Structure 1
Amino acid sequence: MDFSLLGPIAVTSGSGELSLGPAKRRSVLALLLLQPNTTVPLEQLIDSLWEDEPPEHARTVVQGHVSRLRATLAEGGADAYGIELATHGSAYLLRLPEELIDAHRFGELVALARPEEAPADAVPLLREALGLWRGPALTGTVTSPPFAAAAHALEERRLTAVEALGRAHGTLGEHEQAAAILYSAAVNHPLREGLIAGLMGALFRTGRQSDALEWFHRTRRLLNEELGVDPGERLRDAYEEILRAEAADRREAGSAARGTQQRSTGGTTGAAAGEERVPAQGGPAGSGARGRTPSAPRLLPRPPARFLGRQDQLAALTDALTDRSTGESPLAVVAGPAGVGKTACAVQWAHQYAGAFPDGQLFADLRGFGEGDEAAPAEILRDFLLALGTPPERVPTSAQAASALFRSLVADRRLLVVLDNARSSAQVRPLLPGGLSCATVVTSRSRLDGLVATDCARPVSLQALGHAEGAALLGAMLGAERVAEDPAAAQELVALCDGLPLALRAAAAQLMARPRWRLARLAAALRDEQRRLALLSAEDTGIAAALRMSVARLSADDARLLSALATSADGHLNASVAAALAGYDPERTQDGLDRLADMHLVDEEATDVYTISALTQLFARDEKDHSGDTDGGAGRGGTG
């Protein structure tokens, strides 16, 4: 089992990466991993999780996250690794072998490296240490000062290792490699004087004196403009070393020229004797590379497993996102009902076309229809800016300033931005790049007509799978032979799952756990409407959970309307029937139907012809039965 702090917070066991849940739960784990085998008081966790005044129920929230983490670790086989998440009074202790934490392994490798004394051994050690980094440290935690400080401290350790690797290469005489390594870090950290000094020395020793001097003057201007200070001793020493060496070179060149002229002309000194040499250009900081960007971020999730079909939608995304004829930054919105596979479609396309965006691919879950509050634009922008190499202390705190900096950084880059699970157009707009070579794909359960109107977004609609596609998905999950044994049952399963990939995958999970079951047996169980939603769930994944997030975002009026529509006998109705069921006037009903259609909780098949899917009906009826009234999900806000 491996614990990752040097990038996105993650835990990986033999069966793959564990699902850690929302940002606060990841943050609890991160804080425990930053202090392994040490008791962490509950109050410290609360202070770290909430930047402002914590809510009254903060203790209960933290306790709940710890409980879920304990269960998740147990499911991943933590006992076999000697891992225990224990409670000690009002404190918690994560007991584990520290070598399971990537930050600990990083520190040990760096400590073993001796760049000056044993450079040949130091190079592979430092490269292995730096290879543990998968992005900005503590990605996915809350944006509170304690986590910002911890991430900054880890980043300082990384930069120290980069500088050490540069010195090791330099000691071995491998100045080209040293310059290449130090260049990217210097671009991302232009005020780090030790880093710039090391780069200047490496460039000078490869014959790029003018590039080395340019780095000095650029850094001196930045220090003066941003901090009001002059270069420090290390930077001045590197600069003066280059000047002294150049002066010595000129003297040697002059002496050689005078000797040649004296031999050829009897002692006359040539006018060109004092001319300066023109140093070679190029390399990491040469004129041919000054437009290079830092190392490109690759933040896409792993490609979706067993992805099938959707060729028309993938082609529509290609048309929308590779069209450069409009003179605008391409933008597409993938919209559809809960569980239809919007994220999978967007991520599949992003992986297929990643090569068209060599300057990076950014990904963010906006949590528009997830547990808790939706992601604030400032939070997402901070993650993007850090991934693009902006030092944490230079990330603006206001969303407006961060958005402006983001657009400036990516203006000339070929970058793909994937914004998943958006709730509204307003949430998306600050996150849009402006560069003509950038492209953005947004997924949402809402149509996001605002983005279509103001930003010319191209809508790409995702509908439920047909019988053939749904059966193919079952075959990909279960094996074609098992589905071929009973094609009629496979078609019935597709129908009972409303053709939703999420529901079909949950059904397949049920059958994979029961290898002796035939498809017909599960179909028979799903015919029981009282059990269907429960059977179409797999741990924290399922159609009921997905629908709950959608309904939780509805107003009280719209939630009551949805509950009323669920009583329809066959799920087909018009505005008049809907008004009669809900007891609303026609105008109020029509407005509600439009909002429910926008959220894909009902479908408008034709003018004044609406349908509500069987699974949505079952969920709405179940919610009404449990609440005892017709308020639906309105009173629960966004807690999901």
Structure 2
Amino acid sequence: MEFSLLGPVGVATGAGELVLGPAKRRSVLALLLLQPNITVTIEQFMSSLWEDEPPAHARTVVQGHVSRLRQMLAEGGAEAYGVELVTRGSSYLLRLPEELIDAHRFSGLMALARPESAPQDAVSLLREALGLWRGPALSGTVSGAQFAAAAHALEERRLAAVGALATAHGALGEHDHAAAILYAEAAANPLREGLVAALMQALYRGGRQSDAINWFHRTRQLLGEELGVDPGERLTRAYEEILRAEAVATQPPARTQPPARQQPSGPVDPRVQPAPERAQQPSIPRQQGHAPAAQGRSPGSGTTGGPGGTDSTVDTGSTGGTRGTGSTGGAPDRSTAPRFLPRPPARFLGRETQLAELTRWLTDTGSGESPIAVVTGPAGVGKTACAVQWSHRYASAFPDGQLFADLGGFGEGAEATPTAVLREFLLGLGTPPEQIPPSADAASALYRSLVARRRVLVVLDNARSSAQVRPLLPGGPGCATIVTSRSRLDGLVVTDVARPVPVQVLGTDEGVALLGTMLGHDRVAEEPDAARALVALCEGLPLALRAAAAQLTARPRWRLARLAAALGDERRRLSLLSAEDTGIAAALRNSVARLSADDARLLSQLAMGTGREVDALAMAALAGSDPERARDGLDRLAEMHLVDEAATDRYVISTLVQLFARDKEAGEGGSPPASTER
């Protein structure tokens, strides 16, 4: 017989779970288990079970639930385990060996773990302890201050165990494991600065410094928006330690004599004058992935900074005279070329067709033009991963630098402005801050001049429109550009001969292989049918499959079939696939938020239908509009990859999009969104 508090309150016997019944009965049992072998007065029960004044018959209700619990325990063989529910006057006592309570076993395992002095043993102990959790503590009890406080205390213990497990992995040098453990908890508890600080340190020690710094800026922004405060001491200290360590690791050797200043050999913006020689000052070099346009950009700001919000980075070149020439001639110093790419995607799989198309299009030097590829696809399909993977693979083909910017076209915050992105690109290319033109047009002209004779790769991620991209396009024949977007960006195809590179969902075999890379091939091979079912339920979306794998990683005792069964419940599917802040629900929310009110209403009407496929005429009848208007709306949804055009005038909506749109409609009471943007 086992008693559960770490999840739904319950009792398990050799014959299965006891059916406890209503929430108040579970709550009576929970109070007894929270104070095992200690009497609980009937007044304590009454004050805990009713938030307001207990009803006149409250005493009778408590007595009835105790009587029923006693009967159920007896039928479950409680006596054989030394379990007895006894009455002592007007109080009750649950007498039992405390080892039968999962919360007691959890505390015992935690007490035995020594993450720093005996990390290998601690990993085993803490994983076993965390494996006892089956969900939020004290689930199924009535709402009330006492249960909320007890659940909060247990949750604090669980988070402490997570932190200790990460510490143990870190002590073993397994920093990637530590980061993976902390990531989900930091995403679920974004205002817990201690968790975020520990995650930042684990990411940095695992070689992911750009990700670590990005977490700091994201948390700083959230603290300001939600609480109106700056980061605390621990979070700030972790950030500064990373920056100091980076500065020491990457500080270039001092030059005894600065090189002669190069003179401009091409057109230069008349407002951009050569900077005076500057004495070298202690500073933190701008590193790959640290550029504000690439990582850690506050929406609309285009800058990163330290705890106070000011820019704490400097340009990448030496402090000698090669800076700020604005020259289109002369050989650039490739040792200081910008390397803004984020880290390569973890466990990247497949996409060989798309990678080959990018190679064929972007490395063709015969045309004398600057090629552009637009990687498109639905939310969560892995567009950015594909673009970044190719960029790292062929970085050596662009020795004068790789620029990266998240344009925020489908993010939670404001989009990145061309002026802000151009400023970061120009800084990375060696332009002193005081020589950057204030207007977007002038900055764009200077940017094109600087790269005109260089071989630079530009990656513009998460673009919303062609107009957002055009000021950021280089013009030199040695440059190449990759744009990713959920929209097709047909305008770039028309005006700039961009090559579309669509990314589709994974097939069954590819999806199973991805699960294998995430969970271990042996674990997946044990349940091949369940693995295929998971791929189908995730509709082959890599983001959904990774979220499913995260659920199973966090629950090593779960079988794949158990998660597949849980995902089969459409009411839970999106929540199970959205454990992180980048989950399926969040990704779709950002797509739908960019629709006009009419298109959002059309999507809701399509989702509320009985089937997944519809033709334009049927949609027009359902929406009460003329066929051409319905067809235009469906085409715009297809352009945003929220529906697929299966055949002429026939459209299909995916189950995940359908579930999201239904949930959104239900949450808004059927009212259309306020947005009028297209």
Whether TM exceeds 0.5 here: the answer is: yes
Is 1:186 paired with 2:321? yes
How many residue pairs match? The answer is 450
Post-superposition offset of 1:84? 3.5
Note the C-alpha offset of 1:146.
Answer: 11
2:515 partner letter = L
Question: Does the CA-based 8 Å contact 2:200-2:216 persist in structure 1?
Answer: no
From 517, 536, 541, the counterpart of 2:558: 517
CA distance in 2, matches of 1:150, 1:623: 35
8 Å CA contact retained: 2:285, 2:313: no
Once the two structures are superposed, residues 301-357 of structure 1 have per-residue CA deviations (whole angstroms, 9 ceiling, x without a partner) of: 100011111111111111111122322111000000000000000000101111111
How far is the alpha carbon of 1:144 from its aligned partner? 8.6
Assess if the C-alpha contact under 8 Å between 1:105 and 1:129 holds in 2. no
1:154-553 alignment to 2 at 5 Å? 155=314, 185-189=320-324, 290-293=330-333, 295-553=336-594
- What is the CA distance between 1:488 and its match in structure 2? 1.0
Counterpart contact for 1:329–1:436, Cα < 8 Å? yes
Deviations 1:532-581 (A, max 9, x none): 00000132120000000000000000000000110232311110121122
Displacement of 1:22 after TM fit?
A: 11
Go from structure 1 to structure 2 and tell me whether the alpha carbon gap of 1:527 and 1:392 turns closer, same or farther (over 3 Å shift). same
Deviation at 1:115, TM superposition (A): 8.9
**1:558 corresponds to 2:579:** no
Aligned residue identity for 2:548: A
Write the distance in 2 (CA, Å) between the matches of 1:99 and 1:25.
10
2:202 to 3, 9, 14: 14
The Cα shift of 1:374 comes to 1.0
1:26 corresponds to which of 217, 222, 232: 217
Shifted more, 537-546 versus 435-444: the winner is 537-546
CA distance in 2: counterparts of 1:105 and 1:586, whole angstroms: 60
Q: How far did residue 635 of structure 1 move?
A: 3.8
Counterpart residue type for residue 287 of structure 2: R
Deviation at 1:481, TM superposition (A): 0.8
Q: Distance in 2 between matches of 1:624 and 1:599?
A: 19
SS in 2 for 1:102: helix
Contact 1:106 1:129 in 2 (8 A): no
In structure 1, the partner of 2:224 is 62
CA distance in 2, matches of 1:354, 1:109: 20
- Quote the RMSD (CA, aligned, Å): 4.0
Quote how far apart the aligned CAs of 1:12 are: 3.0
Q: 1:109 offset after TM fit, Å?
A: 12
- Partner residue, 2:52: none
Contact 2:304/2:311 (8 A) holds in 1 = no
State the AA in 2 paired with 1:134. Q
Q: For 1:18 and 1:539, locate their aligned partners in 2 and report how far apart those are by CA, in whole Å.
A: 20
Aligned match of 1:102: 243
Aligned to 1:621: 662
Q: Secondary structure at the match of 2:348?
A: coil
Show structure 1 runs of 5+ residues with no match.
3-8, 30-48, 50-59, 71-82, 86-93, 117-125, 164-184, 192-217, 219-288
Task: Check conservation: 1:22, 1:371, Cα contact below 8 A.
Answer: no
Q: Structure 2 counterpart of 1:541, which letter?
A: T
Given that residues 290 and 340 in structure 2 are in contact (C-alpha distance below 8 angstroms), is that contact kept between their aligned partners in structure 1?
A: no
- Distance in 1 between the 2:255 and 2:626 partners? 79
Could you tell me which runs of 5 or more consecutive residues in structure 2 were left unpaired when the two chains were aligned. 1-169, 176-196, 258-278
Which amino acid in 1 is paired with 2:467?
A
Letter in 2 for 1:12: M
Q: CA deviation at 1:583?
A: 2.1
Contact 2:210 / 2:288 at 8 angstroms: preserved in 1?
no
Deviations 1:428-470 (A, max 9, x none): 0000000001000100000000000000000001111110111
Q: Tell me if structure 2 keeps the 8 A contact 1:554–1:634.
A: no
Structure 1 contact 138–147 (Cα < 8 Å) conserved: no
Residues of 2 paired with 1:405 and 1:527: CA distance?
55
Q: Are the structure 2 counterparts of residues 363 and 426 from structure 1 closer, same or farther at C-alpha, using a change threshold of 3 Å?
A: same
Q: Deviations over 1:504-556 (max 9, x none)?
A: 00000000011111111000000101100000013212000000000000000
Runs (4+) of structure 1 exceeding 4 A deviation are: 15-25, 65-70, 103-110, 113-116, 126-133, 135-138, 140-154
Q: Give the equivalent residue in structure 2 for 1:572.
A: 613
CA offsets 1:185-239 (integer angstroms, 9 cap, x no match)? 4211459xxxxxxxxxxxxxxxxxxxxxxxxxx9xxxxxxxxxxxxxxxxxxxxx
Tell me: CA distance 1:404–1:615, structure 2 relative to 1, closer, same or farther (3 Å).
same
CA gap 1:138/1:317 in 2 versus in 1, 3 angstroms: closer
2:217 maps to amino acid? R
SS at match of 2:638: helix
Task: Give 1:147 deviation, angstroms.
Answer: 6.6
| TM-score under structure 2 length normalisation | 0.60
Aligned residues with identical type, % of pairs: 58
SS in 2 for 1:548: helix
Question: 1:134: Cα distance to partner?
Answer: 1.7
Q: 1:501, CA displacement in angstroms?
A: 0.3
Match of 1:134 in 2: 287
Looking at structure 1, the residues matched to 471 and 331 of structure 2 have their Cα atoms a distance apart, in angstroms, of 26
Q: Pick closer, same or farther for the CA change 1:596–1:335 going to 2, 3 Å.
A: same
- Equivalent residue, structure 2, for 1:582: 623
1:601 and 2:601 equivalent? no
| Deviation per residue, 1:135-180 (Å, 9 max, x gap) | 6987355659997999788649x99xx66xxxxxxxxxxxxxxxxx
SS at match of 2:481: strand
Which letter maps to 1:14? A
* Alignment partners' CA distance in 2, 1:516 and 1:147: 42
Give the 3-state SS of the residue equivalent to 1:333 in structure 2: strand
State the TM-score, normalizing by the size of structure 1.
0.63
Q: Is the 8 A contact 1:334 1:442 kept in 2?
A: yes
Q: 1:142-153 counterparts in 2 under 5 A?
A: 143=301
Alignment partners' CA distance in 1, 2:431 and 2:536: 50
Amino acid at match of 2:416: A
Rounded Cα–Cα distance in structure 2 between residues aligned with 1:312 and 1:433: 26
Sort the Cα spacing of 1:454 and 1:109 in 2 relative to 1 into closer, same or farther, 3 A. closer
Q: 1:66 to 1:375 in 2, by over 3 A?
A: same
Give the C-alpha shift of residue 61 in structure 1: 7.7
Higher relative helix content = 1
